[in-house]
Amino acid sequence: MSAIKNNSDFLFIYEAINCNPNGDPDQENKPRMDYETQTNLVTDTRLKRYIRDYFMNEGKEVFVSMEDGKKVNPDQKLEFTINRLLTEQDLVESYFDGNDEMRKSFDEINKEKKEKEGVFKALQNKKNRALNDFILDKIVKETFLDIRLFGSAFAVGGFTHAYTGPVQINWGYSLNKVYQIDSDSIVTIMNDDSSTFGKDYRVHYSLLAFHGVVNKYSAQQTGLTEKDLEEFRNGIWQAIPSLPTRSKLNQYPKLYLEIVYNDGFNNGHFGDLRDLIHCSPKDEIAGYKKVRRFSDLKIDFSKLESLINSNKGKVIKDVILKTSDGITINI
């Protein structure tokens, strides 16, 4: 399957209720905040972690993974993947199909070294750089969905290459002003490993919005396909509520909107899509401090609706929209 052909921008909104959307380890794991504006923040890394974990639970191959709360060593992950290549004939046939020259080089090394460890070291040798690059490219395009989406910088032994991810996501920020649960309500909890105690910091309610892009040029490098993109759209919607923990419970997707551009139009043509949304407390709510649920807010999508409806068939090729109850967009 070939790489995607069109650029697109997307908007993703989810809500966080009485939880800690993204703790800051440098601030006692308090929710990340811009206190000058009372804005709750969530990093792109946190959102991608949700998606990667969801992919893993669905049985998909992920390179940047966690085990027992710790990041898996990339050297070991890559070596394990290449060792699979040495033992699974179907994988060999798939990787080298149509490239007899690389297949010949690989077979020669495999025959000469015999032991898997020796083959892996030989592939790291500079004199085998062409084969090294070929295998790494195949691993990315045929094995690891998260690299095809988000990219990765390889610096593992002789395998060095940077892949820019076609899917790039800004930090998320809350559309409403967010306040932490009062300090006298904060309890002290023990860590999962029973090692230390810490404070259980949470926010009352946060409606978080992310803007992201899908770039067709970077997709050529990683091999991102339309099928991969469908996996991403499903993953970003399903991941957060499907992976609840004590501090991350009560988080639910509200909206995913993707604008697919026609040929000749690049990412960011309409700017940050979050700028086209206005959010405020309903009249009967006495300010943001009283916001406790989605129904306490009113959201105006009129600017976004107008932009989309006036550009369909011109700049915009297609619009992909998914919403939960309580959100209506007329496009």
| Across 220-247, average pLDDT | 95
Residue 292: what residue type?
A: R
pTM of the model: 0.89
Looking at residue 161, what is its pLDDT? 80
Looking at residue 272, what is its pLDDT? 98
Looking at residue 113, what is its pLDDT? 67
Residue with more model confidence, 296 or 138: 296
Point out the least confidently predicted range of 266-275, 279-288, 300-309.
Answer: 279-288
Distance CA 143, CA 163 (A): 14
316-323 and 167-169: which strand pairing? unpaired
Looking at residue 195, what is its pLDDT? 52
The residue whose two tokens read 């043509």 is: 269
Per residue in 155-190, pLDDT tens? 766 677 889 999 999 999 999 999 999 765 556 655
Per residue in 9-35, pLDDT tens? 999 999 999 999 999 999 999 999 999
CB within 8 Å of 233: residues ≥ 6 apart:
256, 258, 320, 322
Distance CA 13, CA 259 (A): 15
| Across 139-151, average pLDDT | 91
Looking at residue 106, what is its pLDDT? 86
Residue 160: what residue type?
A: T
Per residue in 31-89, pLDDT tens? 999 999 999 999 999 999 999 999 999 999 898 875 555 566 777 777 788 777 767 88
What is the percent of the chain with per-residue pLDDT over 70, rounded to a whole number?
90
